[in-house]
Amino acid sequence: MPKNILSVENLNGGYEVFVGRRRVFVHAVDDVTFSLHNNEVLGVAGESGCGKSTLAKMIYGAIIPPLLVKGGSISITTKGGEVLNINKLSIDEVRRKIWWIEISYIPQNSMNVLNPLKRIKDQFIDVFRYHGIKMDKTETVEHLRDTLTTLGLPPEVINAYPHQLSGGMRQRVVIALSLVFNPRIILADEPTTAVDVVTQRTILSLLKEWRENNKSSLVLISHDMSVHAYMDDRIAIMYAGNVVELGSSLDIFKEPLHPYTRALIESLIRKGDKSIRKGLAGQPPDLINPPPGCRFHPRCPYVMNICRSEEPVTTFLDNDRYVRCWLYTSSR
Amino acid sequence: MENENMLKIESVTKLYGYGILGLKKFKALDSVSMNVNLERPKIAVLAGETGSGKTTLLRIIMGIVKPEIGRVLYRGYDIHKLKGSTARWYRKEVQPIFQDPYEAFNPLRRVDSYFYDTVTNICGIKDKDEIMYRIDESLRFVGLSLDRVSGKYPHEFSGGELQRISIARALLTTPRILLADEPVSMLDATLRVGILNILKDLKEKLNMIIIYVTHDLSTAYYVGDDISVMYRGTLVEHGPISKVYQEPRHPYTSALLNSVLEPDPSLRDKYPAVKPSSLELKEFLIAGCRYANRCPYAKEICWTTLPPYIDVDGVNVRCWKHLDYKL
Ligand SMILES: Nc1ncnc2c1ncn2[C@@H]1O[C@H](COP(=O)(O)OP(=O)(O)OP(=O)(O)O)[C@@H](O)[C@H]1O
Ligand SMILES: Nc1ncnc2c1ncn2[C@@H]1O[C@H](COP(=O)(O)OP(=O)(O)OP(=O)(O)O)[C@@H](O)[C@H]1O
Ligand SMILES: [Mg+2]
Ligand SMILES: [Mg+2]
């Protein structure tokens, strides 16, 4: 059995917001359970707005209102072997003990997270200073140049302001920043959406190599199934706040079980393919008012009566493969 | 006049500063030319390396960035010299969808306010029901609705939702040209196909011209009619997309097409190895072909002289190989 370094159990959460004067809850992560093994790549795929980034923020412990954790637990085994419950720690403790050192987070739209008023070099120096790491300026700059060079960036970048860099360059700067403290877990939210395919492969290969050398684990969030095919050991498929299916990459691609996963795999366009695709009719649900029963039922081609009223239960096929769909419960 | 129905990008060069003081300059775009016949609806793909100048080119077409050399003519008007009502007219004709949707919306402003502004100010519609109808219709195009957008701020949406919202906003003025900078990069496959089909519809039913910037060469082929490939500020190849994919003429185009990842885990170990290049700026400064540094076919002349565009079987390409390394 592989060792787990992160376990997420029955996690529930979302955003408490006002619509007009009415207080509503956007239920973006609903009863999510999975574990992250030591030294693996776990992909998270799913539709736009299904809660992937919210899940990442919750794991990172970046719970800032209106984001709210309603229940469940997230536990992590640290470098020192200590087991910490991330959602029991105060934000200050999370910041000191977890961020950058145990878990690094490459946020979505990372091209946007850089401070527009500071040169790249000063942004790095701030992070070093924050963690009390003493490095003199020339040493930092040397270290920086090296990290940036491995990601295919010219050394001049350290003196640039963010607006002087293209989208893809800014993204690589943020990735470089996230690796500096050798974290055991990297949460990467759409790390290569803004770069060309050559650079994408370079970044992914570098992340792969870096991860293998450090025996770290990577949670890779992407809506791009080709990225998952290239990188993942296992994939979790999300739909409207639920993980609807989880399994090894080969299984998910070769034998998708959940009707959403099937539609997803069938919508993939390969290079040199012009045949008309339909995608999936209908819209992803509003998470303030998710449909009753299975959240996918309004778009599901195999919908049955039970799907309209009762939430599906999780069916385990083996330790590392499960699906959350009535089709598989009734047949058992 | 033949200019009447053309968008002409004439040998445009844009310089940006670099170095500590930004006093040294490099060419973010170097003599880029492109002609688009406005009477012929099409989806023109613009692909290329990160940082190769694609967004810069779109900004120049929108008129928000001015080139140092060259000009952009729209139906004969130099778009960097427009004033008053012609400037407003041009703004309606050409609509952008930005690469980064968070950049397109002010975080302190409600998202729906942009829609009301566009409909009333640019489209000049005053009837309240009609306004709501137009907005809702355009949002439904992209799988959302006015109900779900009303009263919310940008941070209350996921990346993909905001991207769809910015597409909906651009559609409000029914522009002639849509400049789409990575419009589907944040959507999953089931929705992405939907948006791409919308782009096709816009072309076929509303006769729009769409300049579609993308890194995703699979979807580019799915919707595209022709493709322009950029490398470090120069246009290296341009032609009908099926021809270019079948037989890429420029070595960079080949490299790009060979790097496309396929949605199949069993191919994982079959891709050619990649070498990170750390020479972005240095390549911008090469006097000749910017790709010389990485090109397996490079010879002396490639380093010193930028090759001219030549026509090889209906595809324009800038590569000395096709000229036997001679002028
Ligand atoms: N700050 C917020 N306030 C209110 N609702 C929010 C907020 N952030 C996200 N949401 C909503 O929560 C849901 C999940 O958003 P999330 O960003 O997790 O999606 P995602 O799966 O990462 O999507 P994408 O692929 O488009 O990035 C969406 O419906 C979104 O509208
Ligand atoms: N305002 C600016 N000042 C200085 N340099 C700039 C500025 N804007 C862009 N650049 C530089 O110009 C080059 C082209 O940038 P551009 O954003 O057009 O690239 P791109 O092709 O859109 O890249 P990507 O695919 O990563 O979005 C880059 O090297 C970038 O660093
Ligand atoms: Mg997201
Ligand atoms: Mg760009």
Q: A148-157, A208-217, B206-215 — which is least confidently predicted?
A: A148-157
Q: Are B49 and A198 in contact (CB under 8 A)?
A: yes
- Strand locations in A58-176 (E): 67-77, 83-85, 103-106
Residue B189 domain-assigned (yes or no): no
For the segment A290-320, what is each residue's pLDDT rounded down to a tens digit? Answer: 999 999 999 999 999 999 999 999 999 988 8
Task: Give the integer Cα–Cα distance in Å for A299 and A316.
Answer: 24
Residue B279 binned pLDDT confidence (cut-offs 50, 70, 90)? low
User: What is the rounded average pLDDT of the residues A42-67?
Assistant: 92
User: What is the rounded average pLDDT of the residues B95-122?
Assistant: 86
CATH annotation of A4-270+278-288+311-328? 3.40.50.300
Residue B35 domain-assigned (yes or no): no
Residues whose beta carbons lie less than 5 angstroms from ion ligand 3: A 53, 108; B 158-159
Expressed in angstroms and rounded, the spacing between residue A22 Cα and the centre of ligand 3 is 25
Q: Are B240 and B73 in contact (CB under 8 A)?
A: no
Take residue A149 and report the two structure tokens written for it: 């060079």
Judged by CB atoms closer than 8 Å, whether chains meet at B51 and A277 is answered as: no
B28 vs A contacts (CB less than 8 Å): none
Distance between A78 CA and the closest CA of chain B, angstroms: 30
> Which of B20, B99, B186 is the closest to A48 by Cβ?
B186
Residue A332 binned pLDDT confidence (cut-offs 50, 70, 90)? very low
Minimum CA–CA partner of A191 in chain B: B186
Ligand 2 atom closest to residue A165's alpha carbon, by position in its atom list = 31
Cβ A51 under 6 angstroms from ligand 1: yes
- % residues pLDDT > 90 (chain B): 53
Tokens 């877990």, located at residue: A185
B99 touches chain A (CB under 8 A): yes
- Best probe of the B interface among A24, A27, A48, A222, by most B CBs < 10 A, is A48
- Strand locations in chain A (E): 4-19, 22-37, 41-46, 67-77, 83-85, 103-106, 185-189, 217-221, 234-239, 242-248, 314-318, 321-324
Q: Is the pLDDT of residue B311 over 60?
A: yes
ipTM value, please give it: 0.81
> Which of B160, B193, B261 is the closest to A48 by Cβ?
B160
Q: How many CB atoms lie within 10 A of CB B297?
A: 12
Q: In terms of C-beta distances under 8 Å and separation of at least 24 residues, what long-range contacts does B312-315 make, across chains too?
A: B312/B249, B313/B243, B314/B239, B314/B240, B314/B243, B315/B237, B315/B238, B315/B239, B315/B240, B315/B243, B315/B244, B315/B249
B188 vs A contacts (CB less than 8 Å): 45-48, 223, 264
Distance between B174 CA and the closest CA of chain A, angstroms: 23
User: Which residue would you say has higher pLDDT here, A162 or A69?
Assistant: A69
Cβ partners under 8 Å of residue A69, min gap 6: A11, A12, A13, A58, A63, A87
* Angle subtended by helix axes B251-258 and A197-214, to nearest 10: 50
Cβ partners under 8 Å of residue A22, min gap 6: none
Q: Is the peptide bond before A66 cis (omega within 30 degrees of 0)?
A: yes
User: What is the rounded average pLDDT of the residues B171-196?
Assistant: 84
Cα separations in angstroms, A260 against A42, A284, A295, A302 = 19, 11, 11, 10
Expressed in angstroms and rounded, the spacing between residue A45 Cα and the centre of ligand 1 is 14
**Number of folded domains that form chain B:** 1
C-alpha closest to that of A67 among A25, A30, A107, A98: A25
- Collapsing DSSP to helix, strand or coil, A72 comes out as strand
A155 vs B contacts (CB less than 8 Å): 278
Judged by CB atoms closer than 8 Å, whether chains meet at B274 and A198 is answered as: yes
User: What is the rounded average pLDDT of the residues B158-167?
Assistant: 81
pTM of the model: 0.85
Task: Give the integer Cα–Cα distance in Å for B180 and B46.
Answer: 10
Q: How many CB atoms lie within 10 A of CB A212?
A: 11
Q: Are A236 and A45 in contact (CB under 8 A)?
A: yes
Q: Ligand 2: residues whose CB is within 6 Å?
A: A 163-169, 194; B 16, 28, 50-56, 99
User: Which residue would you say has higher pLDDT here, A132 or B146?
Assistant: B146
- Best probe of the A interface among B15, B25, B49, B50, by most A CBs < 10 A, is B50
Task: Give the integer Cα–Cα distance in Å for A261 and B167.
Answer: 26
Q: Which A residues, 225 through 264, put their C-beta within 8 Å of a C-beta on chain B?
A: 225-230, 232, 249-250, 253, 263-264
Residue A144 binned pLDDT confidence (cut-offs 50, 70, 90)? confident
> Which of A149, A226, A286 is the closest to B263 by Cβ?
A226
Residue B286 domain-assigned (yes or no): yes
φ, ψ dihedrals at B295, nearest 5°: -80, 130
Q: How many CB atoms lie within 10 A of CB B323?
A: 15
B192 vs A contacts (CB less than 8 Å): 223, 267, 279
Residue B263 domain-assigned (yes or no): yes
Residue A181 binned pLDDT confidence (cut-offs 50, 70, 90)? confident
Q: Is the pLDDT of residue B2 over 70?
A: no
Cα angle B191, B195, B197; round to 5: 115
Domain ranges, residue B317: 248-327
